[in-house]
Amino acid sequence: MPELYFPWIEVSILIPLIGAAWVHLLGQRDNLLTHAIAFCSLTLALTIGELIDFISLGTFEAHDHWPFLGWIFDPSVFVVDELSVFLIPLTALIFLVVVMSTLGTKAPRFSLRLVLVLESLTLATFSCRASWALVALLIAAAIPAYLELRRRKRCSRIYVLHMVTFAVLLITGYAIESTGVLIPGAMLTAATLLRAGVFPLHLWMTDLFEKGTFGTAILMTTPLVGAYAVMRFVLPIAPEWALQSIAVLSLFTAVYAGSLAIIQREARRMFCYLLLCQSSLILVGLELVTPIGLTGALCLWLSVGLSLTGFGITLRCIEARISRVSLSDYHGLYAQMPMLAGFFLLTGLASIGFPATVGFVGMELLIEGAVEVYPWVGTLVVFAAALSGITVLMAYFRIFTGSENRTLVPMNARPREKVAVLVLTVLIIGGGLVPQPGVTSRYHAASELTKHRKDLSLVQTPPHVELIQRSKKLSQSASD
């Protein structure tokens, strides 16, 4: 397997861990946030380096190996491939902008140590392929949110119940994987769908948004670790009929979440359902297993990661100023925060695939793929997207318009928030105006994934199926 020129993967995983230790050593200082931002920025720079290095290699997969770090990590554990190479910098960016947009006054409630540990775990997860290490990382990544719930003295039963079920299903499914396809496959599917929040296993997500800090909830959900788990554990082994059944379930989740997002009366819950709706659409694309559908899903993954993180941090910025945002009435905050209003609208529109934003092409591809496989049911993707669109603009109107709010307290974006917002804006608009490079790369990854899946299914064809295929071939050649 080709090697990267520098151990980007290991270093980018270690830096946030070192950052967590550093922040712990510093204790309670005023400039703790600045230190955390520095570590997150460094991590992002390393992941971008990893991306550039990987592209320059022109290979499907690569790993890094460095004698100084070889004793910590087994070289075969962390491998970056075309599927994950964009997700790693995206994750680092999500963590950076969330930390950057944290107001100093709210920093004590938001554990930077746990955030940096979570970043390290998430980056490691995206650098791992199906293995026991990935199982361990997926389970470990659920712990920081649990610790936060405990620290905030909130009931964590719902979260724990779901995560324990997830862990048990994942461990058991992976342990018995070699014994067959059906039962282990079903267990792994259930585990990954639970992590992805597919109906009816989504309650842990709404609970986390209710009881956790908004920042942690965003970080736990927007990188779409569940979808990654589906891609690594389910996609290679599941038969086509099973994948298509899961796609229909995901489609139902998208419509269900889109419908519930409209009637929510509080901004966090609305965001949670909007995210569920969009992430379910990504799952639909992944499970179609057609090159177009897969490309659409992978493109949408990047766009949802960018746009919904932007949408989320804007809501979080507003929450940090006025506390929880009710959507039962109009707040009229436009005059106080015009920049955040503009960004809220932009990211919201990008998340629903509005033209000239990063989500547009991905959504088009996804709909094309869905309609190709299910001509009738596929139109539900369009319906779910329409529902999300209604939710986004309704939320915009409720928060920023509809009333005159003449408070003299300054509420506009702070410099750090502005930087976070502008970085995402550039990516959202840039990706929307020049989508071809992203689409080409994602299509290549989708093609490789389809090819790998085909290869694997050839290898794994059960003897009786092989016998039937052979007899069919024989009868065909006889008739010829």
Partner 1 sequence: MTPLEITFHILGTAVIASPIALLCILGLSSLAGYKLGESVTSRLTQASVWLTSLPTVGIVVLMLATGIRYVPIELGNWVSIPEQHFHFHLKFAFDRLSIPFLLLSCTLCGVVGEFTRRYLHREEGYQRFFLFYAVFFCGMVLSSLASTIETLFVGWEMVGLSSALLVAYFHNRINPVRQAERIWSIYRLSDAALLVAAITMHHMTGEGDFGGLMSSGVWPEGSAAIDSSQALFVGVLILIAAAGKSALFPLSGWLPRAMEGPTPSSAIFYGALSVHLGAYLLLRLSPIIAASLTLQIMVISLGAVSAVCGAIMSRVQSDIKVSLAYASLTQVGVIVVEVGMGLHYLALIHIVGHACLRTMQLLRAPTLLRDVNDLENKIGARLPNETWSDAGHRRPKFGRWWYRFGFERGFMDVTLDTYVVRPFVCVASFCDRIERTITDKISSESSRESDNAELHPEKINRVA
Please give the residues from 267 up to 286 whose contact with partner 1 meets the rule CB under 8 A. 268-269
Residue closer to partner 1 by CB (options 189, 206) is: 206
Residue closer to partner 1 by CB (options 57, 394) is: 394
How far apart, in Å, do the first and last CA atoms of the chain sit?
Answer: 44
How many residues make up the chain in this entry? Answer: 480
Exposure letters 78-93 (e unless 16+ CB within 10 A, then b): bbbbbbbbbbbbbbbb
Residue from 266, 423, 452, 457 touching partner 1 (CB under 8 A): that is 266
| Site membership for partner 1, residue 449 (CB under 8 A) | no
Of residues 98, 103, 95, 2, the one with CA closest to residue 45: 95
Residue from 262, 373, 377, 423 touching partner 1 (CB under 8 A): that is 262
| Site membership for partner 1, residue 48 (CB under 8 A) | no
Q: Are 398 and 315 in contact (CB under 8 A)?
A: no
The least distance separating partner 1 from the CB of residue 438, rounded to whole angstroms, comes to 9
Residue from 17, 103, 143, 423 touching partner 1 (CB under 8 A): that is 103
The least distance separating partner 1 from the CB of residue 135, rounded to whole angstroms, comes to 26
Q: Are 206 and 74 in contact (CB under 8 A)?
A: no
Rounded to whole angstroms, how far apart are CA atoms 360 and 408? 39
| Site membership for partner 1, residue 350 (CB under 8 A) | no
Residue from 86, 343, 344, 374 touching partner 1 (CB under 8 A): that is 343
The least distance separating partner 1 from the CB of residue 222, rounded to whole angstroms, comes to 19
CB atoms within 10 A of CB 399: 25
| Site membership for partner 1, residue 57 (CB under 8 A) | no
Rounded to whole angstroms, how far apart are CA atoms 305 and 89? 11
The window from 163-171, 181-189, 242-250, 395-403 that contacts partner 1 (CB under 8 A) reads: 395-403
| Site membership for partner 1, residue 404 (CB under 8 A) | yes
What would you measure as the largest C-alpha separation in the chain, in angstroms? 88
The least distance separating partner 1 from the CB of residue 352, rounded to whole angstroms, comes to 9
The least distance separating partner 1 from the CB of residue 10, rounded to whole angstroms, comes to 34
**Helices 379-400 and 359-373 sit at what angle, rounded to 10 degrees?**
150
Q: Where are the alpha helices (DSSP H) in 289-378?
A: 291-322, 338-351, 359-373
| Site membership for partner 1, residue 450 (CB under 8 A) | no
Residue closer to partner 1 by CB (options 136, 248) is: 248
CB atoms within 10 A of CB 31: 11
| Site membership for partner 1, residue 389 (CB under 8 A) | yes
Torsion angle (degrees, nearest 10) of CA 201, 207, 208, 213: 170
Site residues for partner 1, window 203-242 (CB under 8 A)?
203, 206-207, 210-211
| Site membership for partner 1, residue 394 (CB under 8 A) | yes
The least distance separating partner 1 from the CB of residue 58, rounded to whole angstroms, comes to 18
| Site membership for partner 1, residue 452 (CB under 8 A) | no
In degrees rounded to 5, what are phi and psi of residue 128?
-115, 145
| Site membership for partner 1, residue 443 (CB under 8 A) | yes
Angle 46-50-55 (CA atoms, 0-180°, nearest 5)? 150
| Site membership for partner 1, residue 371 (CB under 8 A) | yes
The window from 123-131, 222-230, 241-249, 403-411 that contacts partner 1 (CB under 8 A) reads: 403-411
Kindly tell me the sign of the dihedral angle through the C-alpha atoms of 256, 259, 262, 266: negative
The least distance separating partner 1 from the CB of residue 157, rounded to whole angstroms, comes to 5
Residue from 17, 79, 158, 419 touching partner 1 (CB under 8 A): that is 158
Residue closer to partner 1 by CB (options 131, 450) is: 450
The least distance separating partner 1 from the CB of residue 225, rounded to whole angstroms, comes to 22
| Site membership for partner 1, residue 386 (CB under 8 A) | yes
CB atoms within 10 A of CB 68: 8
Amino acid at 33: L
Q: Are 228 and 137 in contact (CB under 8 A)?
A: no
| Site membership for partner 1, residue 338 (CB under 8 A) | yes
In degrees rounded to 5, what are phi and psi of residue 79?
-135, 135
| Site membership for partner 1, residue 367 (CB under 8 A) | yes
The least distance separating partner 1 from the CB of residue 243, rounded to whole angstroms, comes to 19
CB burial of residue 373 (10 Å; 0-12, 13-18, 19+): middle
- Assigned token pair, 266: 């509080």
- Assigned token pair, 124: 């490691």
| Site membership for partner 1, residue 259 (CB under 8 A) | yes
Rounded to whole angstroms, how far apart are CA atoms 208 and 51? 32
| Site membership for partner 1, residue 157 (CB under 8 A) | yes
Residue closer to partner 1 by CB (options 403, 475) is: 403
Residue from 55, 176, 182, 393 touching partner 1 (CB under 8 A): that is 393
Residue closer to partner 1 by CB (options 67, 375) is: 375
Torsion angle (degrees, nearest 10) of CA 216, 220, 222, 224: 180
Residue closer to partner 1 by CB (options 52, 263) is: 263
The least distance separating partner 1 from the CB of residue 330, rounded to whole angstroms, comes to 6
Q: Are 392 and 274 in contact (CB under 8 A)?
A: yes
| Site membership for partner 1, residue 364 (CB under 8 A) | yes
